[in-house]
């Protein structure tokens, strides 16, 4: 990452490092952009099937859209509010915006070049996105007829003149801006057309039965005479806007949280524009007109795109039925213990906790099965769970409703403020309440991010027994096929006691005074507990020379955690970090972080699991959960990390960590300057994710 700051030369190699030196801390936004660039680099990886490489371009673009909505939108708000306070890395909001733009422009140039190479490779395989103008006469006529019948009625041209104000432009929509001159008018006028693409109207129109396509906006442009018969089209260009997604209100002042979130969603539709993408053929006068009408800040927020606007829509190509150009289908394996177990409850009681590994093992055959058994078991009295993000066709929600109809107590903690899932969660919350389920919205001022389920069951003895599931990923069967996650199932009494206390926290809204014996819970205990364990490794390193910390998270952003990790490496503790995206820590600095390494694993599945390992002088500790090492997770969210105590489960986590740490196909390694380099692989090396597929498929049944 070329924009990373350099260390002050005067301090190089000194034992008395100033850990407040901004040069030691990488920037949150720039390191995230570096991650997205690594995603884009997968599109150039010749070891990956062609349509999978196209998918990575789509993911890159979708990620970038979200970055502008959330991170650039937030920085612009800070600038607008006059905030000049630098972050821990020494950058003001304005500096961050400038460096982000520079980074994005370079990445977009790379995307353009990569996309052109991919399109040439696709053409050789009989797949293409053609321009409307290059179609032969028969194809153009057939497409015109299909457009007339299936698309034209959905197209709504909106005039822009003195009598017609500039229309609302929705977020991420692809639009045409036309100059139209009707013979009966003295002067030309502007017209805006929104491309009517949706899940039911694909952005790419198929040419007959082939695997050749034309962009919908080009078909519209090629048939403007159907919309404006007799008029002259003086110019036609494309544009796309990205709006700020940060429109949060003060939750503590809201009378009704659900109404507040609904109001936020309404406001987000009309939020300020933070990015304007335009095609090169947009005349400068019309570009200026857009800037004025969109109340746009200026040229730094305009991006001229020489290829297709919104390349996230290339995911349509990745969905083509061409198995020869894709990864082999992945069918999750059964967890070996669950495959032979007649009852998950009995299995946990008899053989102890088990660890589920998604997507290598099936979500529906573990978590969904656990809930099905709970619903069907007359001895189950109550079910409590969290909902953060779940799929539209969720099996979890109907099962919870079914449990209520069978007389069981059901309580669900719904996080209404899960970014971009608010509308879905409002619908689920309303449906759950209508079914008679106790719905809670967590603690005021804190998002509920933990993924937990608690089941209460009466044993034949008459005693209540509890079963717990705590995971690193959402209760979402769709993402469980795409994300790499872990989930712990347990009937351990101490863990169950802690889980009961955790749900009491979330449903009562009361944080303070709660004690946990096993779980590390945010926002009040987790951060201090993690720092305590880092300091313990420092002490053990000084005493015995065997300090070792290994952390796998999506992000490492919290300055206090980074500072303590520097203290650990300065003392000689080995620190292995597997950080997917944002990472402030710099490894390999002489005299400070020589004993540290930072890698980022990119692959077929999105790395999403969080594992916290501390050697602890040989009395090893492993924790899993949904918390990243970000200030927001540690201080502003309800999170829980659960210890993995059983040796066989620890061995499974150790195997996974070792595979990733030694991965030479999917791992990128950070140098001391904060720049990432893809590890060099040999002919016998395999990606850790594919090794995990093999291991999960061949795993024998195990028991304590």
Task: Kindly state the tokens that stand for 407.
Answer: 């007389």
Measured torsion, CA atoms of residues 675, 676, 680, 685, in degrees rounded to the nearest 10? 160
φ and ψ of 303, to 5 deg: -125, 120
Sequence-separated (6 or more) residues with CB below 8 Å from residue 460: none
Pairing of strands 354-358, 380-387: unpaired
Pairing of strands 637-643, 447-448: parallel
Q: Which of 472, 420, 424 is nearest to 450 (CA)?
A: 472
DSSP string, 463-509: -EEEEEEEESS-S-TTGGGTEEEEEEEE--HHHHHHHHHHHHHHHH-
Calculate the CA 458 to chain-centre distance.
39
Task: Kindly state the tokens that stand for 146.
Answer: 């299909």
**What is the number of alpha carbons within 13 Å of residue 359 lying toward its C-beta?**
19
Measured torsion, CA atoms of residues 551, 659, 449, 564, in degrees rounded to the nearest 10? 10
Q: How far apart are CA 571 and CA 529, in angstroms?
A: 20
Q: How many angstroms separate the Cα of 466 from the Cα of each of 189, 389, 452? A: 70, 25, 13
Task: Kindly state the tokens that stand for 339.
Answer: 């495959």
Sequence-separated (6 or more) residues with CB below 8 Å from residue 653: 355, 486, 611, 613, 622, 624, 644
Q: How far apart are CA 629 and CA 676, in angstroms?
A: 20
**What is the number of alpha carbons within 13 Å of residue 686 lying toward its C-beta?**
9
Q: Return the number of other C-beta atoms located less than 10 Å from residue 699's C-beta.
A: 18
Q: Which of 341, 361, 364, 366 is nearest to 351 (CA)?
A: 341
Strand partners, 614: 549, 621
Active site residue 449: yes
Omega of the bond prior to 573 within 30 degrees of 0, cis?
no
Q: How far apart are CA 522 and CA 495, in angstroms?
A: 16
Q: How far apart are CA 72 and CA 245, in angstroms?
A: 10
Determine which one of 212, 335, 449, 469 is catalytic. Answer: 449
Helices (H), 575-703: 631-635, 647-661, 688-698
Task: Kindly state the tokens that stand for 492.
Answer: 């351990």
Q: How far apart are CA 699 and CA 687, in angstroms?
A: 18
Q: How far apart are CA 153 and CA 46, in angstroms?
A: 43
Sequence-separated (6 or more) residues with CB below 8 Å from residue 498: 516, 517, 518, 519, 521
Q: Which of 605, 555, 553 is nearest to 363 (CA)?
A: 605
Omega of the bond prior to 264 within 30 degrees of 0, cis?
no
Q: Which of 118, 129, 105 is nearest to 55 (CA)?
A: 118
- Give the catalytic positions in this structure: 449
């Amino acid at each position: 990452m070329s924009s990373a700051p350099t260390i002050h030369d005067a301090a190089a190699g000194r034992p008395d490092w100033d850990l407040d030196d901004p040069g030691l801390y990488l920037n949150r936004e720039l390191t995230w952009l570096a991650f997205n660039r690594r995603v884009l680099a997968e599109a150039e990886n010749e070891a990956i099937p062609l349509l999978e490489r196209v998918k990575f371009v789509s993911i890159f673009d979708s990620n970038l859209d979200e970055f502008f909505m959330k991170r650039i939108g937030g920085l612009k708000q800070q600038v607008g509010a006059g905030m000049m306070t630098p972050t821990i890395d020494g950058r003001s909001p304005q500096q961050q915006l400038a460096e982000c733009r520079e980074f994005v422009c370079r990445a977009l140039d790379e995307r353009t070049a990569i996309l052109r190479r991919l399109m040439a490779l696709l053409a050789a395989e009989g797949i293409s996105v053609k321009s409307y103008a290059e179609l032969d006469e028969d194809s153009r006529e057939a497409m015109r007829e299909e457009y007339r019948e299936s698309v034209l009625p959905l197209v709504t041209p909106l005039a822009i003149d003195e009598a017609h104000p500039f229309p609302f432009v929705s977020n991420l929509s692809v639009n045409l801006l036309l100059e139209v001159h009707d013979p009966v008018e003295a002067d030309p006028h502007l017209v805006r057309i929104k491309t009517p693409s949706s899940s039911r109207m694909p952005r790419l129109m198929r040419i007959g039965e082939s695997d050749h396509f034309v962009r919908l906006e080009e078909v519209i442009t090629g048939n403007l005479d159907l919309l404006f018969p007799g008029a002259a089209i003086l110019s036609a260009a494309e544009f796309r806007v990205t709006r700020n997604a940060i429109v949060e209100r003060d939750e503590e002042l809201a009378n009704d949280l659900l109404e507040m979130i609904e109001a936020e969603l309404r406001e987000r539709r009309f939020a300020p524009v933070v990015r304007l993408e335009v095609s090169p053929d947009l005349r400068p006068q019309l570009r200026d007109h857009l800037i004025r009408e969109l109340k746009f800040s200026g040229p730094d927020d305009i991006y001229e795109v020489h290829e297709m606007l919104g390349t996230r829509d290339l995911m349509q190509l990745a969905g083509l039925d061409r198995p020869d150009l894709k990864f082999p289908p992945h069918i999750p394996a059964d967890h070996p213990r669950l495959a032979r177990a007649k009852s998950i409850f009995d299995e946990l009681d008899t053989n102890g906790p088990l660890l589920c590994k998604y997507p290598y093992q099936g979500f529906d055959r573990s978590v969904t099965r656990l809930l099905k058994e709970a619903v069907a078991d007359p001895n189950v009295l109550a079910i409590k769970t969290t909902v953060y993000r779940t799929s539209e066709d969720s099996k979890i929600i109907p099962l919870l409703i079914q449990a209520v109809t069978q007389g069981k107590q059901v309580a669900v903690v719904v996080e209404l403020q899960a970014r971009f899932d608010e509308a879905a969660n409002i619908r689920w919350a309303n449906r759950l309440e209508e079914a008679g389920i106790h719905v809670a919205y967590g603690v005021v001022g804190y998002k509920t991010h933990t993924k937990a389920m608690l089941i209460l069951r009466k044993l034949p003895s008459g005693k209540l027994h509890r079963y717990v599931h705590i995971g690193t990923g959402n209760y979402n069967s769709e993402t469980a096929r795409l994300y790499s996650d872990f989930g712990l199932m347990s009937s351990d009494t101490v863990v169950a006691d802690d889980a009961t206390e955790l749900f009491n926290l979330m449903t009562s809204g009361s944080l303070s005074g709660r004690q946990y014996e096993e779980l590390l819970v945010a926002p009040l205990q987790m951060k201090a507990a993690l720092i305590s364990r880092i300091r313990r490794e420092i002490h053990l390193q000084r005493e015995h020379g065997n300090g070792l910390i290994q952390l796998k998270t999506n992000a490492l952003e919290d300055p206090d955690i980074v500072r303590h990790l520097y203290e650990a490496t300065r003392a000689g503790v080995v620190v292995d970090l597997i950080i997917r995206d944002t990472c402030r820590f710099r490894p390999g600095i002489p005299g400070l972080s020589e004993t540290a390494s930072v890698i980022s694993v990119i692959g077929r599945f999105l790395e999403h699991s969080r594992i916290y390992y501390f050697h602890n002088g040989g009395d090893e500790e492993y924790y899993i959960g949904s918390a990243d090492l970000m200030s927001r997770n540690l201080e502003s969210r309800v999170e829980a990390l659960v210890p993995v105590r059983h040796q066989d489960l620890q061995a499974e986590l150790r195997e996974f960590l070792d595979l990733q740490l030694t991965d030479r196909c999917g791992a990128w390694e950070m140098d001391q300057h904060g720049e990432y380099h893809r590890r060099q692989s040999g002919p016998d090396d395999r990606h850790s994710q594919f090794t995990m597929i093999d291991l999960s498929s061949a795993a024998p049944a195990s028991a304590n």
